[in-house]
Every structure is written in structure tokens, then in C-alpha cells.
Amino acid sequence: MRHISALVAGIALAVAVAGCSRPTGVAAAADAMGATNLNSIQFSGTGANFAFGQAYSPGGPWPRFDVKSYTAAVDYQAPAMRLEMVRAQGEHPPRGGGAQPFAVDQRTVQVVSGTFAWSEGGAQPAPNPAAVDDRLRQIWVTPHGVVKAAVAGGVTATGNTFTVKAENRDVKVTLDDQNLVQKVEYVLSNSVIGDYPVEVTYSDYADYGGVKFPKHIVEKQDGFETLDLTVTDVKPNAAVALPVPANVSSAPAPPASVAVTIEKVADGIWSVNGAGTRSLAVEFADHIVMLEGPTSDARSKAANELVRKTVPSKPITYVVNTHAHYDHAGGLRQYVAEGITVITHESNKAFYEQAWARPHTVEDTAPTSNKPTIETVADKKVLSDRTRTVELYFLAGHGHHTGQLIAYLPKERILLYGDAYNPPAGDEIRTPERGPEYAAQLYQKIQELKLTPTRIAPVHGRVVPFQNMLIAFGLNGPNATR
């Protein structure tokens, strides 16, 4: 009996010791996922990509694109990452923004290595210094990235969750009952909507030589999907070498403020250019109307200061917004902060009121203490005095956005619009990568309204003759020869 009792006691002790030595929390995740000896990984797949901030209707889901190929190569030691994606038109007919309509498949290559970021695909790599933080964060929110960051930081889990820092953002990580990373959550900021949640879920794990990796990845930003990827191939500890190109390492740091230039395009009409976008400053007898407040509050602040220096005797009283895509509405909060009235289509009003009331704690932006003054347009609105007339028209039925306006200056015969035809640089007219649908819809509206523009001032692109758009897309008609 004594021998049996001793044996039972020994077994109990062994079980207790084994239970104490079993890893838990972060250590358990590292063990279950094979993260400890994983220095790099490459994974590929197909699925869908959605363009954040480019919804067809205000507050609606992001437009969908078909992802034909998606390959990410990650080096956790450098750290570095290269993401190559080929996507095709996903909405038929096209609806919303995101550079659609596509005439051909679009290939993008984004890279980060250490403190440098760049894009590939042109004659030489294009430096993207402002993208470093976001792309590094993408490394550390991968399934193994969050675990490796937690181990390196000595993070302790609470139950099945823990939090790590990823480029100045707190990332909450949730593990499933197998100690595999199930979900990561963090908060980013946008100049239109303020703070917004990002959620990435990882599911359907498979074993790749002792490394567990999900076969399904879904990312949501502000509640709508931005990526739905089915993973088809995984290579643990793949050879990933991402040296920084010479022109990228020698590129100057991004300027502390937005560089803005101004040029006269007609008597009392000024083109204000900065951050890759255009707005027009239009002089009336005793005030100025800005046509479009795009990109960011910093751009609007710099643009407004330059306009006031150029025309010091006239205040800016209105800003006209073509539509609610984030690249076109990103600078409106600055106008609201300055007490300037926003003019937009009536379908955008509620969206802006809700967006500008949201918290902006992640990044410093224009203050929101001023209640926005918004004037709306139904089908047409005319701004006029003894010196100038600006006609605003609603593009009913246009595929780019349900609340889109155009601005026409009849005396100068200049047309400003948001998206339809973006003239390329240099002497080139055609844009073979873009389909004709949005330009054709704009042209049809111009004919219906009997407008006679001789020049166009797109928010994206140069001021060019109107006929350039017609030539670019083969749009024939009475205006084509003017």
C-alpha cells in the first residue's frame, strides 16, 4: 500500500510540475504559432481590396476591387516589408473612387526598410517618407509581428488578450483557445472623420513547417472592409532582402509645413496648388470663394494664408466642396475652424455634421469649437455679384459619388470638377490606365446643361484645354473642336 501511495503521489507531483511549466499568455502564443525562431515570412493570396475614404455615397461602404495577386515579404529583424498587389475593377459599373474606373489592371508595390519607405513601378523608386510609420506598423500587426513585439517588450497577457505598441499606437491582441492570434485592434486618425477603429481578424490557421499562419485575413477600417484575403502560399523564414535604394536614402525629409504655390489663370481667378491637389480662389467684389478644400487641414491653412497674402483686401467667406471623398474633404475642418461657410450637395450635409463631431485625439487637427455653417445645393446654386458669377451644378447619377458638384465660371469658361479626367504631366493627353465612364458622364452633363468650357481645372491635375478630356477618351461632339 505504501508503494502504491508513493507512486500516486509521484504522478500527482509530475502532473503539477508539468502544469506549472506549460507556457501561458504571450509565451503560449509564441510557442503555438512558431514565432520564436521565425525571422521572416512571405505569404501570398487573392481576394478583394476596398478603397478607404472613397465610398460611393456619404457614410457608405468602401468600393470593392478584385485582388488578382497579393504578396507580402516581411523581415522581422530589419525590420522591412515589401507588399505587391495587382488589382482589377471590382464594381461593374464602377461606383465610387479609388482611382477607378480601371482600363487595365493596377499594380502597386510599397516598401519599407528601417526608417525609409518607397514605392516601385516607375523609372526609379519613389521616396515615400511620410509613409514610414504606417508601413512599419503593418509589420508589427501581422500575426507573428504582434507576438514578437510582445515578447521583446516583456508584455504580460490578461486572460486571452494583451496590448503592444506599434509605431505609437496601442494594439490590442486577442488570442483564440489554441493561443493563436485571432484579432488585432487599434485606432488611426483621418482629417475628415477623426479617430477611427481598425480591426484585423486572422482565421483558418494551417501549419507550415511548424509555423502556424492564417489562411483567411479580413481587415476593417471604420467598420467597413478594406481587405479580404484568402492566403494560398506561405514561406516561413523566406529570404527577404530589401536594401534601401540610393535615391531613397538621400531624399530630403518631408517639409515641416505643406508647400503651396499660386498662379493666376484668369482675371481674379487663382489656382492654388499643394500636396498634389488644386483649388481655385475666385475673387468677388468684396470677398473670395474657394473652390475645393482638399487633402488636409494643413494644406487648407497654408493655402488660405497664401491667398490672403495675394489678395489681402478680401476675406474668404465660402469654400465649395465637390464631394465627400476624403481626399477632397480633408481640408474642410480648417475652414470650419475659421468660421468659413461650407457649400456642398445636400446629401453630404448630415455626413459632415456627424464626422466633424467625432473625437480627434490621435492626431492634432483643426479645432472643432466652431459649429459648422453649411449651405447646401440641390440641383443648382449661383454665386454672383456685379463682378463675377460661379454656377454650381449637381451631377445626378454620376458613378463617382452620389453627392458630387461641379463649378462653372461662365465668363472665363473654366470648369472645376473633382474626378473624371486627371491630366497627366507634360505634353501627354491620354491616360490609358483609366476607363472612360466617369469622363463620359461628366461630358453628358455638360451637354445637357449647355455649358461651353474652354478650359478645365481638375482638382487632380493641370489646368488644360477642355478638348484634352475629349481627346483622351474619344468623346466626340460639338465641343470637341473648340
How many structural domains does the chain have? 2
Are 227 and 323 members of one domain? no
Are 287 and 234 members of one domain? no
Are 413 and 453 members of one domain? yes
Establish if 324 belongs to a structural domain.
Answer: yes
pLDDT tens, position by position, 113-124: 999 999 999 999
Integer Cα distance of 327 and 383 in angstroms: 25
What is the DSSP annotation of 133-166?
HHHHHHHHTSHHHHHHHHHHTT---BTTEEEEES
Are 187 and 287 members of one domain? no
Are 375 and 452 members of one domain? yes
Q: Which of 74, 77, 76, 79 is nearest to 44 (CA)?
A: 74
Are 173 and 86 members of one domain? yes
Are 287 and 389 members of one domain? yes
Are 297 and 334 members of one domain? yes
Are 215 and 297 members of one domain? no
pLDDT tens, position by position, 446-468: 999 999 999 999 999 999 999 99
Establish if 340 belongs to a structural domain.
Answer: yes
Cα 276 from chain centroid (whole Å):
14
Task: Indicate the residue among 245, 268, 285 that finishes a domain.
Answer: 245
Are 136 and 235 members of one domain? yes
Establish if 252 belongs to a structural domain.
Answer: no
Query: 252 or 406, which is more confident?
Result: 406
Where would I find the H helices in 107-233?
A: 132-140, 143-152
Task: Specify the pTM.
Answer: 0.93
Q: What is the mean pLDDT of the chain?
A: 93
Establish if 287 belongs to a structural domain.
Answer: yes
Residue 381 has pLDDT above 50, yes or no: yes
Give the range of the structural domain holding residue 299, as residue numbers without chain letter: 260-481
**∠ CA 295-297-303 to the nearest 5 degrees?**
80
> Which residue's C-alpha cell is 487633402?
295
Integer Cα distance of 390 and 370 in angstroms: 27
Task: Indicate the residue among 183, 217, 245 that finishes a domain.
Answer: 245
Integer Cα distance of 421 and 410 in angstroms: 20
Q: How confident is the model at residue 19 (pLDDT cuts 50, 70, 90)?
A: very low
Are 184 and 38 members of one domain? yes
Q: How confident is the model at residue 254 (pLDDT cuts 50, 70, 90)?
A: confident
Pairing of strands 341-345, 316-320: parallel
Establish if 308 belongs to a structural domain.
Answer: yes
Integer Cα distance of 476 and 482 in angstroms: 11
Establish if 7 belongs to a structural domain.
Answer: no
Q: In b/e form, how buried is each residue of 258-270, taking b as 16+ CB within 10 angstroms?
A: bebebeebbebbb
Q: Which of 334, 331, 336 is nearest to 294 (CA)?
A: 331
Q: Which helix (H) or strand (E) holds 271?
A: strand 269-274
Give percent of the chain with pLDDT exceeding 90. Answer: 89
Task: Indicate the residue among 200, 218, 245 that finishes a domain.
Answer: 245
Integer Cα distance of 439 and 460 in angstroms: 14
Cα 406 from chain centroid (whole Å):
23
Establish if 2 belongs to a structural domain.
Answer: no
Are 228 and 290 members of one domain? no
